[in-house]
Amino acid sequence: MKAVAILFALVLAAPGWSQCHKLTDINATTPEGQLLQKAGLEEDPAKKLALQEEFAAQFPQHEAAGWVYEQLLTAYLKANDADKALGVADKLAAMPPECVEDAQATLKAAELKKDPDLVLKWSGKTSELAQKVVDSPKPTEADEVENWKARVDYAKQVNTYTEYSLYAMALATPDSKKQVALIEALQQRNPKSEYLAKAQDALFVAYQKSGATDKAVAFAQQVAATGTPSEDMLLVLTDDAAKKKDGEKVHTYSAKLVELAGSKPKPEGVADADWTKRKNTILGLAYYMNGKQYFNDGKLAPADQELRKALPLVEDSNAALKPEVLFYLGLSNYKMEKIQDAVNYFKACAALKSPFQAQATKNLTAMRTQYHGIK
């Protein structure tokens, strides 16, 4: 059995992860044993692969089939052939023993295929198997403890990798509903995951794009209560508070928006002009929503102050909002009996096509009848 000994040495020296399906004695007098022996001795990678594929096709029920499938999985992954790797992985998944290494390799094949559904499936399966290793009891035999510790440490690393896999796939897929499924799976698996913190903005945007408005608001509220929400989250929270007529929260969120927009550094790779426009858009909205809320509260002086800050910002970055800002400035100044200022704002509003144009024109006419000498 010299050939068997040679083949066994080749198996032990084979690259890749620790094999779950072991290859022990080979009966070289049988056709399957001879094929395994031939594959083991073959030095050309392409020919070795062909021989292993031949064995898998001819002897799928053989006790060595699992070991051969693992060799094929390694080879297909190395060749970036996701479909073949997944095909072999499906066969492995139906065979005992279930194995962390095989599951992680299958997860890598799903990543290679860029399939969010498969990544979701195999991330979960890999994590499940890894957790079983982590939860396994410490051996009673002293000479087995070090190996157990090493395997538990490896399983913990694999578990962390499954979290990264969900995060990376969520950022890579354009499907917002699949993004939600991936990040929610990450959230459920480990609420303290470092990747969940990195994915919170993506989850919020995915909720919005998928039409899950209530979830977007609830998630933004959760982030605001425990951490630092993004500008987009604060904008949604401010708008939601305004709809619910919660003036205190409108003022709180608006102030946070102004603080965040004013202190946040320009991200690397973003043009100065684009960053300035985004910053002005956010600030303009914050001042506008705060000013409008003050007006609704009957606090005219702070309403006027905030809306005046908003006006030049929306003029440059959010022109569609300009007529409404002008209209509320007109109303605020009229009620404060700053008639000429009110006229000026209503006149500017009436000159712009918007839902406020007709009412601004009526207000101007009424004011010119009521007051004499205004310009």
The rounded Cα 296 to chain-centroid distance in angstroms is 38
Distance of CA 275 to the CA centre of its chain: 23
Residue 188 sits in the same domain as residue 229: no
Burial classification of residue 18, based on how many CB atoms lie within 10 Å of its CB (0-12 exposed, 13-18 middle, 19 or more buried): exposed
Residue 347 belongs to some domain of the structure: no
Based on the fold, state whether residues 232 and 323 are members of the same structural domain: yes
- Does some domain include residue 10? yes
* Residue 84: inside a domain: yes
Per-residue pLDDT, 28: 87
Same domain, 253 and 299: yes
CB contact at 8 A, 347 and 326: no
Report if residue 60 sits inside a domain: yes
93 and 190 both lie in a single domain: no
Same domain for 249 and 174: no
pLDDT recorded at residue 286: 96
Residue where one domain finishes, among candidates 97, 112, 135: 97
Same domain, 222 and 328: yes
Position 320 scores a pLDDT of 92
The reply to whether 74 and 1 lie within a common domain is yes
Residue 250: CATH number of its domain: 1.25.40
In whole angstroms, give the CA distance from residue 60 to residue 63. Answer: 9
* 150 in any annotated domain: yes
Residue 69: give the domain boundaries.
Answer: 1-97
Supply the pLDDT for residue 18: 58
> Do residues 195 and 290 both lie within one domain?
no
Distance (Å, rounded) from C-alpha 105 to C-alpha 354? Answer: 59
Residue 303: predicted pLDDT: 97
Q: Does residue 142 belong to any structural domain of this protein?
A: yes
- Based on the domain organization, do 255 and 268 belong to the same domain? yes
- Residue 375 and residue 365: Cα distance in Å, rounded? 12
In a domain, residue 114? The reply is no
Identify the DSSP state of 285.
H
Q: How far apart are CA 307 and CA 286, in angstroms?
A: 10
pLDDT tens for each residue of the chain, 375 residues long: 343 333 333 333 333 345 788 887 888 899 999 999 999 999 999 999 999 999 999 999 999 999 999 999 999 999 999 999 999 999 998 888 889 999 999 999 999 999 999 999 999 999 999 999 999 999 999 989 999 999 999 999 999 999 999 999 999 999 999 999 999 999 999 999 999 999 999 999 999 999 999 999 999 999 999 888 999 999 999 999 999 999 999 999 999 999 998 888 888 899 999 999 999 999 999 999 999 999 999 999 999 999 999 999 998 888 899 999 999 999 999 999 999 999 999 999 999 999 999 999 999 999 988 887 777
Q: Are residues 134 and 45 in the same domain?
A: no
The count of other CB atoms within 10 Å of the CB of residue 5 is: 10
Query: What does the pLDDT read at residue 372?
Result: 79
Choose the final residue of a domain: 62, 97, 132.
97
In a shared domain, residues 328 and 269:
yes
pLDDT, residue 317, reads 80
Residue indicated by tokens 């303009």: 284
The answer as to whether 365 is a domain residue is: no
Specify whether 238 is located in the same domain as 303: yes
- Give the residue from 33, 161, 51, 186 showing the smallest Cα distance to 108: 161
Number of domains in the chain: 3
> Distance (Å, rounded) from C-alpha 34 to C-alpha 23?
14
Q: What is the pTM of this model?
A: 0.81
